Amino acid sequence: MAEPELVPPPAGGRVFRHPAAAGLADVAPSGRARLDAIARWLQDAALADVVDSGLDGGGVWVLRRLRLVVARFPRLGDAVEVATFCSGTGALVAERRSTVAAGGSALVEAVALWVHLDPGGAHPRPLPEGFESVYGIAAAGRRVRARLRHPAAPPDGAARRPWRFRAADLDVAAHVNNAVYWEVVEEELVASEPPGALDVEVEYRAPGDVGEAVVLAAGEMRWIVADAGDVLATVRLGD
């Protein structure tokens, strides 16, 4: 039997806590927090944790996969807390488990796979010096791999709809920010509001830029493809 991916918080070691709030720009017309907003909260918590840790190996972290398991969506006005910890490591990667909670109740569980790259973001690089001493106790020796698991190419006959990335979607790396890809899912959810019990995963395959794209759909899978034909990200929808 495969090891559970959503591992519980560690008995010891570093668990970083970061506050956020569901504001007007974070929610759908129904008042529930959108998935892209939740992804931004997680991204901000991860960065705050790394900065607070004092680790600086001269490299950069690139997100390869993010899975969100929603029991109940945060609502407009909710003060939330992201509790995050390192749940596993590999030679060049680290896994991060996070829980988004409000009012003492866990609402969203998340697991992310991050790859450590050189400062230019071109080549994998070993984890920063001192990483084990800061995060090793929480990781508890659990090993993870960087391999992606979604089908890389859509099947023939997949349904198509247009998409466009805007200049406002770019971040400080001049690439489409990780959280923006969750808007593809939101485009479908807004027409039929989910009550909760949602399990969605995005894998990031290539950096995106401003311009036209297309979303291809087949079953539970979505492929976000740049105008030049590169698959930028894949989405697995579950419930």
Cα–Cα dist 217/162, whole Å:
11
Among the candidates 105, 139, 173, a domain finishes at 139
Among the candidates 85, 105, 139, a domain finishes at 139
| Secondary structure in 3-state letters for 40-86 | HHHHHHHHHHHHHHCCCCCCEEEEEEEEEEECCCCECCCEEEEEEEE
47: domain range? 16-139
* Those residues with Cβ within 8 angstroms of residue 143's Cβ, 6 or more apart along the chain or in another chain: 88, 89, 90
111 with 224, same domain? no
pLDDT tens-digit profile, the chain (239 residues): 345 789 999 999 999 999 999 999 999 999 999 999 999 999 999 999 999 999 877 788 999 999 999 999 999 999 999 999 999 999 899 999 999 999 999 999 999 999 999 887 778 899 999 999 999 999 999 999 989 999 999 999 999 999 999 999 999 989 999 999 999 999 999 888 887 789 999 999 999 999 999 999 999 999 999 999 999 999 999 86
Among the candidates 139, 173, 197, a domain finishes at 139
36 with 103, same domain? yes
Find the helix or strand (DSSP H, E) in which 17 lies.
strand 16-21
The tally of domains found in the chain comes to: 2
Task: Examine residue 2 and state whether it is found in any structural domain, yes or no.
Answer: no
pTM score: 0.95
Dihedral pair phi/psi, residue 111, rounded to 5°: -140, 130
